[in-house]
Amino acid sequence: MVVGFRPPVTLRGRRLRLEPLELRHAGALTPIGAMPEVWQFLSYGPFPDLAAMEGHISGLLSLQEKGTDLPFAMVRRSDDVPIGMTRFLNIERENEVAEIGGTWFDSRFWRGPYNTESKRLMLAHAFEAEGAHRVSIRTDLRNERSQRAIERIGGHREGILREERIVRGGYRRSTVVYSVLAEEWPEVRDRLDRWIQRSWPEPPLPVTSRG
């Protein structure tokens, strides 16, 4: 099966909508781009002002045009407020594989269902709509919170790429690689659904986060 991952794609969940990333999202995302904790384990960022955020989004849209990436704005459905960003990247159509990454969002939502729901939406799209065979997820070896989250949903830990990139401050980052195969998706889907269906409080957003 030919794997597409072509825009426009909108994915709708119970609390979250993943909509095609556009420059118009920059204003609402800029206050989040200035949160230092959001970027602690990412190899890029922060984007603390509108120009920096617009530059980041423009770069991702260029990758989308090349066909390697498919970026989304994460939008809370209850008030249509963008709370972060995520994307498919390293799309290899000939091999029917893709990676989920570039995920960052308002830290007030970290211990809620939003990241889990975004993974549910993207994995379902990859396996059920695109016919992908393998989806990978990578994270910094230092980011134990992220590793626990990926393992909780059923990601298979493949190994560690030791000191495979230089990030801020000249630090040589080691990366943990996880994957889900098409045959594993039904079990992973059930895990995600059980987690998402739990009762979660909704944190308020201040006016400054609304862009």
Question: In angstroms, what CA-CA distances link 203 with 82, 83, 85, 105, 154?
Answer: 14, 11, 18, 13, 27
Q: Is residue 136 part of a domain?
A: yes
The per-residue pLDDT for 24 is: 97
Q: Are 153 and 116 in contact (CB under 8 A)?
A: yes
Closest by CA position to 9, among listed 71, 76, 78, 101? 71
Helices (H), 67-164: 114-124, 144-152
Q: Is residue 205 part of a domain?
A: no
pLDDT tens digits for 180-191?
999 999 999 999
The per-residue pLDDT for 60 is: 98
Domains: count for the chain: 1
Q: Is residue 2 part of a domain?
A: no
> Can you tell me which residue has the tokens 């989308």?
64
pLDDT tens digits for 113-151?
899 999 999 999 999 999 999 999 999 999 998 999 899
Greater pLDDT, 208 or 195:
195
Q: Is residue 99 part of a domain?
A: yes
Q: Is residue 172 part of a domain?
A: yes
Q: Is residue 163 part of a domain?
A: yes
The per-residue pLDDT for 205 is: 62
Residue 164 has pLDDT above 90, yes or no: yes
Residue 84: CB atoms within 10 Å: 24
Q: Which residues contact 62 (CB under 8 A, 6 or more apart)?
A: none
Q: Is residue 1 part of a domain?
A: no
Tell me the CATH number at 85. Answer: 3.40.630.30
The per-residue pLDDT for 210 is: 41
* Domain span at 104: 11-199
3-state secondary structure (DSSP) of residue 11: strand
Model's pTM, two decimal places? 0.92
Q: Is residue 67 part of a domain?
A: yes
pLDDT tens digits for 17-70?
999 999 999 999 999 999 999 999 998 999 999 999 999 999 999 999 999 999
Average pLDDT of span 186-206: 83
